[in-house]
Structure 1
Amino acid sequence: MDEAKLRMIPAPLLFPYERLRYAEAGSIVYPPGGRFGPRIQQDIQLVMLYSGEMTITVEGRPLHVKPGQVVLLKPGQEESFVFSRTEDTWHRWIAVNFEALPEATEQALHALPSCLPLSEEMNLLTDLMIMLLRRGSHEDPEVRSLGLAAVQLYPRESQQAQLLTEKHPSVYAALVWIREHYAEDVSLPELSDRAGVSPEHLVRLFKQHEQTTPIQYLWQFRVKRAIELLTNTGLTVTEIAQRCGFKTSHHLARLVKSATGRTATEIRRLSWSGFRSS
Structure 2
Amino acid sequence: MNAEQARRRRDDWPEVGWTSLRVVQFDNAEQAELHLPPSGCQSVVLVNKGLSRIESRHGSTWRGAEYGPGMIGLTAPGQPTDIRWCGSERSFTTHVELPSALIDRTCVELWGRDASRLGRPDALAVQDPVLSSVIDALCVAARAGVDEFYAESAATFLAVHLLTMHAAAPPPREAGREDHRVRRAAQFIRDNHSQPLTLAEMAAVADLSPFHFLRLFKAVTGQTPYRFLTKVRVERARRHLTRPEPSITDIAHLCGFASPSRLTAAFRSETGLSPSEFRAASL
Select the structure that is richer in helix.
1
Classify the TM-score, shorter chain. Answer: 0.3 to 0.5
Normalising by the residue count of structure 1, what TM-score does the alignment of the two structures yield? 0.42
Greater RCO, CA 8 A, separation 6+: 1
